[in-house]
Structure 1
Amino acid sequence: MRTSQTPLSLKDAHLINAMLTIGYVLPLYFTKYTRLSFSKTQANNWSRSKNPSERWRDDPTVIKARLLSVSVSMIASLSLMHYIVVTNQSNATNSVWDTATRYLGFSFRMRDLPAHLVTPMLFLGPLYGRYLARDLPFMRPRTLNKPNKNTFNWIVFRNYVIAPISEEVVWRSCLVCAYRLAGASNAFIVFFSPISFGSAHLHHVWETYNMYGRTRQALWRALLLTIFQFTYTTLFGFHSAFLLLRTGSLLPSISAHIFCNFMGFPQLQEELQRYSHRRRRKPYLGLVSCFN
């Protein structure tokens, strides 16, 4: 129930949660430019080439259209939450930036810099594996086997700029703000609000099912992969929400998101097997892997 101390009720916050999640995902299927298309070609050994008539998520035209879509969704979410904050705050003299800084996490403080190192500390094992493989950015130029340079640039821009920023703004800045205005506890915010973030990735089941030929095996694979993705994105949401609440700034959450997108999901067992012949390095790799 809404009270004088809580401008929003918990029911209102849940409604905003649903609105922001649907408002981010649903527009991806509004137009032919953002929708994906697949033929009925079945995958051979879980791999197949893209047909010219198909539109996959890594196509430059699809990326551009979807980046525009999520950017509009992000701005709309910020506008909604800013309006709610301004209309419910007691001090009407606060500037727009003061409101954004206090409620939405748009602040930078030197004391928050160590928070940016928390996520890399959790990846010490995989980072060491990248070091052994000489696969870190500062060690050698990274090369990706992409069709052309234009495609590579748009994929990088999506994965490391627009996607992390827009998702953290919507599910951390705006959504956490809504639950804080509803008087929810920090524990509730950390462990409940990221569920919608994980749920926003469930639509990938349709993409995987179609990509692998729309068979029963393809459906089973799509369900397993999507459940796995839902699990680790929700777990990351716990971590990201904690960083926001602990620091009051959205920046550590964004940097954590970019870093995790770069590293991918840790494959610790694979790393240990890959470098098992390095007797002096394997024990250290196993030790630092304990941080993950």
Structure 2
Amino acid sequence: MLWPERVLFSHLSFQESLGCCLLLGFILISSLYAWRTGLPRNHPRTVKRRIVSVMVVCGVSPLILLFFSSSSDGHRAYPLSTWLGLRSDHLLQAAVYPLILTMVLFAGPMVMMMMECSASETEEEPQAFQILALRNYIVAPFAEEFTFRACMLPVLWPHCQLLGSVIVCPFFFGVAHIHHVIERLSNNNGSPVVHICLESLFQFCYTSVFGAYSCYLFLRTGHLIGPVVCHMFCNFMGFPDFAGIMQFSIWKAATLACVFVVGLVAFAFLLQPVTDPLLFGNTVYTDVS
């Protein structure tokens, strides 16, 4: 066998765990700039090359994790694939339950989307649209969840447990999106610098909030598939357009506002029971005895 059958990470100090996370995040973001095309980030050639880069990084990241791991046969040691949430048991529940939970949270935006779906026609740009869809809805969600959740949480978990991990881990995910500031400034078409910085700060905040939710899903289910599927769904939905409610008539706007509130309240009530570790056979990310 090329690597130990069972490993653990409890031997690492907190500083070493943070160092491992920084290294993983740095390698992923650096891979995006490995190609110097001089083209915008959404140009098909740039997108294709970045897809290759992040897929290579996803192959290297587990090896970095192995380097930081310690071989063991103890009762808290598991195969690396199990730490990474790459399990086949309870797979259907792990994919469906978190998605339903997230859809409950997005009840308002989903209803709004259906209302807006009247007679809008989509312009077809086959190649450009397909490659952007591949990046936004498949590659980016998988690569980000694999790096920022599956590879970082195993080293953070022994020190932080559930609450600490949900607070600390999203910081790396939020900071990783700051690189968009550089791209926006370099491709600035006249937007004020302050506007670009505020936009990036807003992106940092909401990606950090999503990162916390995604960490929670990963640690509660012990599966990677739930966070990936939810990330795909959230990328498709985008950030809720609260201001868009005002474009409708009074009664429709009031109905929409109610659906937004009901979705949020229902989500809060369902969060714990729907992510109960027992539903997913999760014995990895449970309180250390």
Please indicate the TM-score interval, normalised by the length of the shorter structure. 0.7 to 0.9
**CA distance in 2 between partners of 1:269 and 1:221 (Å):** 19
Answering whether residue 127 of structure 2 is matched by residue 125 of structure 1, we say no
In 2, distance between residues paired with 1:161 and 1:120?
Answer: 18
SS at match of 1:107: coil
Larger helix share, 1 or 2: 2
User: Residues 127, 188 of structure 1: CA spacing in aligned structure 2 closer, same or farther, 3 A cutoff?
Assistant: same
Matches of 1:152 and 1:237 in 2, distance apart?
A: 26
Corresponding residue of 1:247: 221
How much has 1:83 moved relative to structure 2? 4.9
Alignment equivalent of 1:63, drawn from 20, 35, 47: 47
1:166 — aligned with what?
143
Q: What SS class does the counterpart of residue 232 from structure 2 fall into? A: helix
Q: Give the conservation status (yes or no) of the 8 Å contact 1:78–1:170.
A: no
Shift of 1:120: 1.0
Bigger Cα displacement from structure 2, 281-290 vs 194-203: 281-290
The CA distance in 1 between the partners of 2:140 and 2:221, in whole Å, is 22
What residue is the counterpart of 1:72 in the other structure?
Answer: 56
User: Which aligned pairs between 1:109-148 and structure 2 lie closer than 5 A?
Assistant: 109=90, 110-112=92-94, 113-134=96-117, 144-145=122-123, 148=125
1:116 to partner: Cα distance: 2.1
Find the aligned partners of 1:5 and 1:209 in 2 and give their Cα distance.
40
TM-score (norm 1): 0.79
Inter-CA distance 151–265: structure 2 relative to 1 (3 Å threshold)? same
Q: Taking every aligned residue pair, what percent have the same amino acid on both sides? A: 27
Tell me, in whole angstroms, the C-alpha distance in 1 between the residues paired with 2:9 and 2:36.
Answer: 46
Q: In the TM superposition, what is the alpha-carbon distance from 1:56 to its structure 2 partner?
A: 0.9
Q: Pairwise CA RMSD of aligned residues?
A: 2.4
Matched with 1:198 is 174
Instruction: Select 1:267's aligned residue among 223, 241, 244.
Output: 241
1:183 aligns to what SS in structure 2? helix
Q: CA offsets, 1:121-174, max 9 Å, x none? A: 111000000111227xxxx9x85446x311111000000110000000000000
Gaps of 5+ in 1: 38-54
TM-score by length of 2: 0.80
Question: 2:130 maps to which residue?
Answer: 153
Q: Distance in 2 between matches of 1:5 and 1:248?
A: 16
For 2:259 and 2:111, locate their aligned partners in 1 and report how far apart those are by CA, in whole Å.
8
Tell me how far apart the structure 2 counterparts of residues 57 and 208 of structure 1 sit (CA, whole Å): 10
